[in-house]
Structures are given as structure tokens and as C-alpha cells.
């Protein structure tokens, strides 16, 4: 009876381990996943937030841009890109050049969160 119990326990352990290994996705390991940079580009100017095609075309010209997402109707754009190549300022500059000539708009990187963190750190000192 004891041998039967031990055999059943061993089989149950092997099945549990095999199902755990089968459930883990192989293509999303920590080693193979590349980190993505994020930047928020803020668009300024009268009616400039409606030129989404121009903004997206300017950002998609960079091969490292992975995703362009318009966060709201007020000209806030989240850009996900592969870090190490272009800087966020270069991305905002491309949007600025695309909108400045024909639409008299401007664009820059929104650093609101970084300013808030710096202000909180200064207050703690």
C-alpha cells in the first residue's frame, strides 16, 4: 500500500511539473525581451492636435519607433521606441518640423513627471 501511495505521489508531482512548464510561454523570457523606451510628446498650437496623420508619419519615419498612441484629444502622444538610438528630443523635433511649416504648431517632450519627482526630492532634503 505504501509503494502504491509513493508511486501515485511521484506521478502527481511529475504531472504538476510538466503542466507548469507547458504553461510558461517560451518567447517571453526575460533574456530575450528587449526594453522599450517611452516618451510623451506634447503638441501645442491652435487645432494642431487634429493633425494625427502628420504626427504619426513623422514618428514612423524612425525605424526604432514601436508604437504611437494618442492619449487624448489635446495633443498628448505616447511614443514607445527602442532606446539607445534616437533621443526623445529628436522624436519631438521630428513632430515639430512636420507641423511647424504648414500648420504653425510646435511639439516638445513633456517632462511633467520628472519635474514632480525632482520637486519631491528637494522637499525631502
Residue 64 counted as domain residue: yes
pLDDT at 123: 53
The CATH number of residue 58's host domain is 3.30.70.100
Residue 5 counted as domain residue: no
pLDDT at 61: 96
Number of domains in the chain: 1
Residue pLDDT, tens place only, 69-124: 999 988 999 999 998 888 999 999 999 999 987 778 999 999 875 444 444 445 55
- Give exposure, 60-99, as e/b (b: 16+ Cβ within 10 Å): eebeebeebeeeeeebebebebeeeebebeebbbbbbebb
Instruction: Decide if pLDDT at 39 tops 50.
Output: yes
Q: Among candidates 112, 110, 96, 113, which has minimal Cα distance to 45?
A: 96
Per-residue pLDDT, averaged over 49-66, amounts to 93
Q: Per the confidence metrics, is the pTM higher than 0.75?
A: no
Residue 1 counted as domain residue: no
Residue 117 counted as domain residue: yes
pLDDT at 93: 95
Residue with more model confidence, 125 or 62: 62
Residues in the chain: 125
Q: Which residue range(s) make up the domain with 52? A: 37-124
Residue 104 counted as domain residue: yes
Residue 28 counted as domain residue: no
Amino acid at each position: 500500500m505504501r509503494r502504491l501511495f509513493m508511486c501515485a505521489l511521484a506521478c502527481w508531482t511529475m504531472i504538476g511539473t510538466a503542466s507548469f512548464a507547458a504553461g510558461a510561454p517560451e518567447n517571453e523570457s526575460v533574456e530575450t525581451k528587449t526594453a522599450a523606451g517611452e516618451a510623451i510628446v506634447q503638441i501645442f498650437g491652435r487645432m494642431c492636435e487634429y493633425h494625427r496623420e502628420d504626427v504619426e508619419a513623422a514618428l514612423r519615419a524612425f525605424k526604432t519607433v514601436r508604437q504611437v498612441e494618442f492619449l487624448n484629444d489635446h495633443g498628448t502622444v505616447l511614443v514607445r521606441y527602442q532606446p539607445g538610438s534616437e533621443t526623445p528630443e529628436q522624436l519631438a523635433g521630428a513632430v515639430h518640423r512636420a507641423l511647424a511649416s504648414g500648420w504653425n504648431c510646435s511639439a516638445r517632450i513633456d517632462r511633467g513627471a520628472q519635474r514632480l519627482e525632482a520637486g519631491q526630492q528637494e522637499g525631502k532634503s
